Amino acid sequence: MNETGQDRLPEARHVRLRTLILIRWVAVSGQLVSILVIHFALSFSLPLVPLLGAVALSAAINLLATILRPADSRLSDGEATLFLGYDVIQLAFLIALTGGLENPFAILFLVPAGISATILRLRSAAAITSLVIICATLVAFLHQPLPWLGIAPSLPPLYLLALWVALVLGTLFITAYAWRVASEARRMANALGATQMALSEEQSLSALGALAAAAAHQLGTPLATIAVVSRELESDLPASSPHLEDAKLLVSEVARCREILGRLSALGEGEEVEPFGRLPVSGLAEAAAAPHRNDTVTLEVIATPSEGSDATEPSAPRRAEILHGLGNVIENAVQFCTNRVEVVVTWDDQLITMEVMDDGPGVAPSVLMRLGEPYVSSRRKSGRMGLGVFIAKTLLERTGASMSFFNGRQYGARIVITWPRQVLEALSADQRDVKLHG
């Protein structure tokens, strides 16, 4: 079994220009204060002209970027890469003039690498990381001596090599870890966005059904009056009347209108006082399964109390989250079954359970252990996004359900959805307060 496909969503990678400008102002301020304090307060002799020139250039680029583009504009991946690449080169220039890797501030090479991992695509983040490693390697060999007071201590080459190795490994680790965490956050945000869209669409369809049923009910009375009058006109007109054909056409069109209104009323079947109504849990399973019935698959809903229980069948609200979530699971079962899908609904005094079982090949173990997470699919090569089960799980959990995924003892997949009976029965049919949180 697998998730149904969803439209591919763009990953939220673009960063606002204001964010990078603010980070650079912090860096420029720190660099300026550090240079002035070290040179004047601590009496270290630094090459002030090139150092302050590099800091002034960064400040000028920041001011120019602020003037030329609105601060709220978003940079493309390439633009953000160039922005951070300049920061790496500027930092390498400052470090090279002040002792190379012997300078404690060389640790700041980790900053642009870490930032790139959180806002750039993998290829761009790898480019910034490579640039950091190249610059760190260059300044390890090409640098001015650290301006010590008095005789400069001689650091062993092995220690300098260890500094370089530590900086390189730290850059790689922090970049990889930050990119992984940021990537998971982006994936989850996109998946929750898809869930919200699916819920919104289901709510719109449910609302449309309720409005159609209400409209059919309101139009039924005047249409019945028109039907009576048109039949009377037809019977009163003589056979030779030129208007008899028009009267017959009117009667047939009225009958057609009544048939259409009957179908519209069926959209709201089971909905009484509340807009979305309540149904027995077996009826709710039937409503979720109805759109997925076809001539090639036997789709059966079986409802029975749990063994040893004589509890009456509970009712549940006809909510979009339940219909869409359960329908998504049933749709997957229909897609992957061989001939048959069963939806077994059981209940007792404490729990309400729906088991969706198919006679297909089952779920691969590598997929089964992650089923329910976003972007998990055995059909990614076919363009599937792997969001269907995630959306179903998220929506059903909003109603108090829990989901478990298994393979059958002999064949097929088995998904078990369980609600505490008290929670599901107490759930309101009003969906206006539904929200999703990451």
Tens of pLDDT, residues 128-151: 999 999 999 999 999 898 877 777
- Does 217 score more than 70 pLDDT? no
User: What share of the chain has pLDDT > 90, as a percent?
Assistant: 38
Q: Between these two residues, 385 and 45, which has the higher pLDDT value?
A: 45
Q: What is the CATH number of domain 197-267?
A: 1.10.287
Q: Between these two residues, 65 and 239, which has the higher pLDDT value?
A: 65
- Does 210 score more than 50 pLDDT? yes
Task: Give the mean pLDDT of 226-236.
Answer: 83
- Domain locations in the chain as residue ranges: 15-195, 197-267, 278-426
pLDDT, residue 268, reads 52
Task: Give the mean pLDDT of 291-310.
Answer: 88
Q: Between these two residues, 353 and 223, which has the higher pLDDT value?
A: 353
Task: Give the mean pLDDT of 295-321.
Answer: 87
pLDDT, residue 317, reads 86
Task: Give the mean pLDDT of 392-414.
Answer: 85
CA distance 342 to 357: 5
Q: Of 335-344, 364-373, 407-416, give the range with the top mean pLDDT.
A: 335-344
Q: Report the CATH superfamily, name and number, of domain 278-426.
A: Histidine kinase-like ATPase, C-terminal domain (3.30.565.10)
